[in-house]
Structure 1
Amino acid sequence: MIEVLVVVGPGVVADAGLLEEIAAREFAAAGVSGTLVHARDASHVLSLLSAPEGAGCVVVLPGPSGEVRSLIGRDLGAVVWVDVERADGMTAGEGATHLHGRGVGGLAWGIRHAVHRVRHPSRRIAYGPLPEQRGELYLPDADEPPVVMLIHGGYWRSIWAADIMGPLCADLAGRGLAVWNLEYRRPDLHGWDATTADVAAGLAALATAHAPDAHAPDAHASDGLPPDVLPSSTIPPGTDGAVALDLTRVAVVGHSAGAQLALRAVADAAGEAAGDAHAVAGGPRVVLAVSLAGVLDLVEGDRRWVGTGAVGAALGGRAPGRGEGQAATPYADASPLLRLPLGVRQLIVQGAADDLDLVDFSRRYARAAAEAGDEVTYLEMPGDHFDVINPATPIWQATAEAIAQALEAPPKGIKRTTTNITE
C-alpha cells in the first residue's frame, strides 16, 4: 500500500484538527495509508524528507518560516509543496511540485497529486526554458498511439495548475492514448501574449520534444520521476528508449478557461499551417478539438462578469461596447465564438448543472459552429463544472469514449507521421 506523509510546517495558519480531517478523508478516498506530522522547525522538516525509509509520497505545508521555505527550491525528490496562501514565483526543486493559493482545501489537492504521481508515472518534458513551460507525457501500453493534449482551466489564474487534469491523464492512457498534460504561463503573472505563445509552443512541441539541443541543455530529458520508476511497458522493445507517437491523430482538449485556449490554439494552427488546414506546419495534425465546460464567448463572458471579471483581467481590458466592433481588440483573436469556422471536428461537452452562463456559451457556440459549416457534436448531460473532468462520472465516460473513437484510425487520405520521444 502507498504510504503518504503529510508534514505541516511551523506557523501554518490553519486549524490542526481540520487539517487532520482533510488528510484522513483523502487517505481513505485514495485507499492509501497516511500520517500527518507537525514539524518543529526546518531541521525537523528536512529530517522527515531525508528519512531513508520514508513515505511513498510526501506533501508539505511549508508555512511562513523562511528556513522551511528555502527547502522548496532544493532537490529533495518528488515532494508536493502546498501553500494554503497565494505564493507567486516559487520554483520547486527537480521533480517536485508547488501548489498554492487554494486555501486549506489545497491540502486535499496536494495529497491527490502526490498519490497520482506514484500510481501513474509520467515524463516531465520542457518545451521552453522557463519553469512553467513544461508538460507531463503519459504513455500507454501501445505502439504509436494517438495523442490527447490536455489544457487545464482555472480562469487563467496561476493558483490553478496542470495537476487538476491528472485523473483524466490516467483514464485516457488506460484507453491506449498518449496524453500530453500541458502547463503554461498564466496571464495574471505573465500577460496574455505569454499564455497564447506557450499553448502554441506546447502543441508544436509534440513534434520536437525529442530534440536534444532544443531550448535549455538536457531540458527535454528531465523526467517528473526517476527513469527507473517508469513502467517498462512504456518503452516498446527495440526502440532504444524512444517512443513513437502518431501525430496524424491528435486531439486538443481544454477544460473551462483551458477550453478557450484549446480552441484558440487549434484556430491559430489552422490559419498558420502550410498545405494542411488542420496542423501546425511540420507538426501534429489536430483532428478533434474538445471543450469541457468551456468559456467560449469571451465578449459576453466579460460583459456578464464571469469568474468575477476573469476574462477582462486575463485579456488586459474590457470587451468593447455593443456596436463598437471586435476587429482591433484581443477578443477578436481570443474568443472561440469569433474564430468560426474552425475547420476541425469539435466535441462540445457541458454539464447541465454548471454555471448557466457557461451552459449558454456552449449551446450557442455549438449551434454557431454547425451553422458555419464545422462538424460539431454537442454533449450535454447531468453534472457540474468539475464532473466533466471526473473519470467516475457518466459525462466524462461518454466524453472519453467519443475522444477514443475519433482517434481510432488515421484520417482518410493522410499519411501517418510519428515522432520519437526519447529519454
Structure 2
Amino acid sequence: MGGAGVLVVTGPGLVVDPDLIRETAEPEFAALGVAGRCAVAAGPESLRDLLTGAGQDDRLALVVLPGPDPSARRLAHEPGPHADRTVWYDPVRTGPLGVAPGGTHLAGRGVWGLVWAVRHAVHRMRHPARRVGYGTDPDQWGELRVPDQAARPVPVAVLVHGGFWRSIWGADLLDALAIDLVGRGVATWNLEYRRPDRYGWAATTADLADGLAALATVTGVPPLDIDRVAVIGHSAGGQLALRAAADSGRVALAVSLAGVLDLAEAERRWIGTGAVAAALGGTQAELPGLYAAADPLSRLPLGIPQLVVQGRDDDPDLVDIGRRYARAARAAGDEVTHLEQPGDHFSVIDPTSAIWQATATELTRRLARQAS
C-alpha cells in the first residue's frame, strides 16, 4: 500500500460524537501502519465532494459512515473511481444498503465496529480478493485469495466466520487470517452465508454445504488442490465448519477456533444471551432432531481429523466445551489435536498472536503431510 492511507468520513446527522470516531480510528491507523485522517461532511453535497476527491487518489481507502440522511445514503449507490475502495459502515442495525459494484456495507456493530470497518478497508486494498457467487442471494459468495508464484496446486482453507449466527457479523472478521494463510502458501475461500436471524437455520446449513461444494468449480492460478481442504470456523463458525466438514466427507482437516461445539449445553447455559436457541429456532428440548443434526458433539465420531483451538482467557464456558469436546472426540475414535493457550476470543483470529501462530504451524504441517 506504500504511502497510501485511509479516510474516515462521518456523514450528516450521524448520532456519534465526532471526537470518539477519531479516538476509535486513530489507534487502528497506527496498528495497521497507515496514514489516516477523519473528516465530517456537513451535508450530502459535502459528502459527495469528499468522495469525488478521494476517487482521484487510487491509494486511498475510504470508510464512510453515511448517517440517516436519505440523500447521503443514496451516494452509496453511485459508481465512481472510489467505489471499490469504499466500506460503508452504519453503527446501527439497518437493512442491506445497496452499494456500487466493488463497495461493501457493514452495519450494526456500534462504535467499536468502526475498527473492523477500517481493517476491512485496508485489507481489501492491500490484498484484493476475487469474489465469486455460489448462489443468487447477495449473501451467497466466497472470496478467493491464492498464493503468488506457486508452481503446483495449492491446499485450500475454507474460512467460516462467527458472530453468534447473527447478520451484523460477516466474512470481514477473517480477512486477516485469509491474508496470513495465503502468505504461508495456502489458498483461502472466505465464505459469506445467509445467517439464520434473517433467513432461518435451513438456509444457513444449505449455504455452508453449497459454499464448500462450490470449491470444485472455482478456478485459480495456481490451481486449487481440492484433496487438501481444511475447513476453519471461528466461534459460531466453529460449529458450522465441523458440521459442514462432517456432512461433506471430503475434507482433510476441520478446525474449530473457540467454537461452540456442544450446542445443547451452550443453549442450556444461555451462551450469547440465547444465541443458540435464536439461531436454531427453539431450545434443544423443543427441537431435539435439529440439534442432533447440527451439534458437533452429538455427531461424533466425525471421521475427520480435527484441530480444536481455544484461548484460555476466553469465556470459561467455551473453554469447558473445547476440553470436553476434544476428550469425547478422541474417545469416539476421531484424530483430534486440542490446542489451548493463553488468549481471548479474538486472539485465535489475530495473526500476530502466539495461539494463531501455533495454529497456523499445525495447520500447514497437516496439509503438507496430506500431499506427501
Is the TM-score greater than 0.5?
Answer: yes
Mean alpha-carbon deviation: is it higher for 111-120 or for 151-160? 111-120
Hey, what does 1:169 align to over in structure 2? 178
Listed one character per residue, the Cα deviations across residues 125-172 of structure 1 (whole Å, up to 9, x for unaligned) are 111111110111111021311000000000000111111111101110
1:60 pairs with 46, 58, 64, which one? 64
Post-superposition shift, 1:33?
1.1
SS of the equivalent of 2:6 reads strand
1:27 pairs with 26, 29, 52, which one? 29
2:320 pairs with 357, 360, 363, which one? 360
Cα distance in 1 between the residues matched to 2:308 and 2:78? 42
Cα distance in 1 between the residues matched to 2:35 and 2:197? 37
Hey, what does 1:103 align to over in structure 2? 110
- Aligned residue runs from structure 1 range 13-162, under 5 A: 13-51=15-53, 52-54=55-57, 56-76=60-80, 77-78=83-84, 79-141=86-148, 142=150, 143-162=152-171
Post-superposition shift, 1:95?
1.0
Q: For structure 1, which runs of at least 5 residues remain unmatched after alignment?
A: 211-234, 236-241, 271-278, 280-285, 413-423
1:254 pairs with 217, 233, 247, which one? 233
TM-score (norm 1): 0.83
Cα distance in 1 between the residues matched to 2:320 and 2:290? 22
Cα distance in 1 between the residues matched to 2:303 and 2:114? 42
SS of the equivalent of 2:224 reads strand
2:271 pairs with 290, 296, 306, which one? 306
Hey, what does 1:289 align to over in structure 2? 254
Whether 2:348 is the aligned partner of 1:388: answer: yes
SS of the equivalent of 1:392 reads coil
TM-score (norm 2): 0.94
SS of the equivalent of 1:247 reads strand
**Which amino acid is the alignment partner of residue 280 of structure 2?**
L
**Which amino acid is the alignment partner of residue 75 of structure 2?**
L
Mean alpha-carbon deviation: is it higher for 249-258 or for 200-209? 200-209
With a CA cutoff of 8 Å and minimum separation of 6, indicate the structure with the bigger relative contact order: 1
The structure whose residues are more often helix, as a share, is 2
SS of the equivalent of 2:209 reads helix
Mean alpha-carbon deviation: is it higher for 336-345 or for 51-60? 51-60
**Which amino acid is the alignment partner of residue 178 of structure 1?**
A
Cα distance in 2 between the residues matched to 1:373 and 1:74? 56
Post-superposition shift, 1:26?
1.5
Whether 2:165 is the aligned partner of 1:205: answer: no
Cα distance in 1 between the residues matched to 2:146 and 2:79? 25
Q: Is the 8 A contact 1:185 1:198 kept in 2?
A: yes
Post-superposition shift, 1:88?
2.3
Cα distance in 2 between the residues matched to 1:360 and 1:92? 42
Post-superposition shift, 1:53?
2.4
Listed one character per residue, the Cα deviations across residues 290-339 of structure 1 (whole Å, up to 9, x for unaligned) are 00000000001111000000000000001118xxx93xx21011110011
- Aligned residue runs from structure 1 range 335-414, under 5 A: 335-410=295-370
Q: Is the 8 A contact 1:127 1:209 kept in 2?
A: no
Q: Is the 8 A contact 1:6 1:58 kept in 2?
A: yes
Cα distance in 1 between the residues matched to 2:321 and 2:182? 30
SS of the equivalent of 1:410 reads helix
Cα RMSD over matched residues? 1.5
Post-superposition shift, 1:411?
5.5
**Which amino acid is the alignment partner of residue 53 of structure 1?**
Q
Identity %: 57
Cα distance in 1 between the residues matched to 2:246 and 2:87? 35
Hey, what does 1:226 align to over in structure 2? none
Q: Is the 8 A contact 1:252 1:290 kept in 2?
A: yes
Equivalent residues, number: 363
Post-superposition shift, 1:37?
1.2
1:244 pairs with 208, 223, 234, which one? 223
**Which amino acid is the alignment partner of residue 127 of structure 1?**
Y
Hey, what does 1:181 align to over in structure 2? 190
Cα distance in 2 between the residues matched to 1:382 and 1:243? 36
Change (3 A) 1:411 1:33: closer
